Amino acid sequence: MVRLGRRRRSPGPDAAHVVVVGAGFGGLATLRTLAGGGLRVTLVDQNIYSTFQPLLYQVATGGLNPGDVAYPIRSFTRKYGVRFRRGALTGIDAAAQRVTLADGGQLGYDYLILATGVSAAYFGIEGAAKNSLALYTRRDAIALRDHLMAGLERLSIADEQDKRQDNVVVTVVGGGATGVEIAGTLAELRNIALSAVLPEVDPARVHISLVELGPDLITPFQPALRDYAKQQLARRGVDVRLGTTIREVGPDSVVLADGQSLPSEITVWAAGVAAPAAIEDWGLPQGKGGRILVQPDLRVKGQERIFAIGDIALVEDAPLPQLAQPALQCGRHAAAQIRRLLTGQATTAFSYHDKGIMATIGRRSAVVQLPRGIRVRGTLAWLAWLALHLVTLMGNRNRISALINLSWRYLAWGHGGGLIVGDDPQEPGTR
């Protein structure tokens, strides 16, 4: 790894040009592997920062500042001798080996790596996209936080008549790791922090529900850990509804398949992911959820010079979990394949090394599932989760700030601390 600020020798104009689209886990892992190899590398992203998505729910519930989970891309590209081009990908001309950006700019490439990530999947449910809040970008997290805090402030100034009628009802749709984490943290905010921050608000007027289509929460985990997660949410006062199908999402309600209407002032959508609609214009083969179909070596089907990695890529015969670790490994593999192709070698198939999965339910409560049958839950799992996420954050400033804010949240919630609110200044059009 090269120290920040050290100058690299720029590759010559005849060096192969690799364009990487997307500054998430996969894209940045690709750049690290390509750096210093005599290639011209350009990173394209519509934002000027990379977002650490696993902690967005902490931003949404006021535990972290938006800046704690964002790292400036140019600091990274300068460190690794890579060019950064801000822009959104709108078109790919595979024959001419050229991409087009939203501002009309074009970039030629010798190899192209798509690591754009995904967005929420609404499965055709009426009103879901319009009336719910997703949690995939920094802007999503800020919007959810502001909706939540506005609802609590409304309760704090309600007159006596309103107090008998008005409530804040939050419905989380989806029982995966994101849904469990946001529901658990919202419940703790209500149970612990609310009486200290807004003592005039009765916590009983804040209702948290989690609705899941399947029979279990966090299905990638062992059954005992799934049951533990459900029990912990119930202990925190979350109304968990399993095996429940949603027919429609309205501005203030969620309508179930059986016709029952559940009040829902804030509906958080964490029920699945799909490729952004813009990918349809790229002319690449798509599979389930609109994700790009790739060969075992991660090259896009039918393409010799285009790779797709991370959540946007789909290996039909061996789909990968949509987590950070597969994206990191895919990024390193794609970069290694480009080096092989440039030296006349054949590519190799990608093989995922499972390092385990984890999810947190709340303070001193998490589940960890590691290879070889290792299962951990409770305080030890929570400490492991906290340590891993702090270590994997990019930038020392982010790590220190997140450590301070999370420590303050978990130590001082009951004393009026640990709740970060306020506007987040950002450039127009950024997310």
* Shared-domain flag, residues 192 and 254: yes
Q: State residue 166's pLDDT score.
A: 79
* Shared-domain flag, residues 174 and 250: yes
In a domain, 429, yes or no: no
Structure tokens at 420: 């970060």
In a domain, 355, yes or no: no
In a domain, 354, yes or no: no
Q: Identify the DSSP state of 126.
A: B
In a domain, 392, yes or no: yes
Domain boundary pick from 342, 372, 395:
342
In a domain, 425, yes or no: no
Q: State residue 415's pLDDT score.
A: 57
* Shared-domain flag, residues 251 and 311: no
Q: State residue 411's pLDDT score.
A: 73
Residue in 64, 126, 157 with CA at minimum distance from that of residue 253: 126
- For residue range 380-427, what is the model confidence (pLDDT) as tens digits? 999 998 888 888 888 888 888 888 888 877 776 665 555 666 655 444
In a domain, 64, yes or no: no
In a domain, 427, yes or no: no
* Shared-domain flag, residues 257 and 378: yes
* Residue 379 to residues 77, 101, 361, 383, Cα–Cα distance (Å): 38, 47, 11, 6
Residue 171 and residue 20: Cα distance in Å, rounded? 37
Domain boundary pick from 313, 342, 371:
342
* Shared-domain flag, residues 331 and 220: no
Structure tokens at 339: 């080096």
Q: State residue 100's pLDDT score.
A: 97
Is pTM beyond 0.75? Reply is yes
Number of domains within the chain: 2
What three-state secondary structure class fits 28? helix
| Nearest-10 Cα torsion for 96, 274, 390, 384 | -130
* Shared-domain flag, residues 324 and 202: no
Q: State residue 426's pLDDT score.
A: 47
* Shared-domain flag, residues 396 and 254: yes
Residue 312 and residue 275: Cα distance in Å, rounded? 6
Q: State residue 304's pLDDT score.
A: 96
Residue range of the domain that includes 306? 17-46+87-118+275-342
Q: State residue 272's pLDDT score.
A: 84
Q: Which of 126, 153, 160, 181 is catalytic?
A: 181
Domain boundary pick from 310, 342, 374:
342
* Shared-domain flag, residues 152 and 108: no
Contacts of 207 (CB under 8 A, 6+ apart): 167, 168, 169, 170, 239
Q: State residue 316's pLDDT score.
A: 85
181 catalytic, yes or no?
yes
* Shared-domain flag, residues 228 and 312: no
* Shared-domain flag, residues 95 and 197: no
Query: Strand 49-51 to strand 70-72: parallel, antiparallel, or no bridges (unpaired)?
Result: antiparallel
* Shared-domain flag, residues 259 and 280: no
Q: Which residues of the chain have pLDDT under 50?
A: 1-7, 425-431
In a domain, 66, yes or no: no
- For residue range 56-90, what is the model confidence (pLDDT) as tens digits? 999 999 889 999 999 999 999 999 999 999 999 99
DSSP β-bridge partners for residue 43: 20, 84
* Shared-domain flag, residues 326 and 384: no
Q: State residue 4's pLDDT score.
A: 39
Phi, psi of 395 (to 5 degrees): 90, 130
Q: State residue 404's pLDDT score.
A: 86
CATH number at residue 294: 3.50.50.60
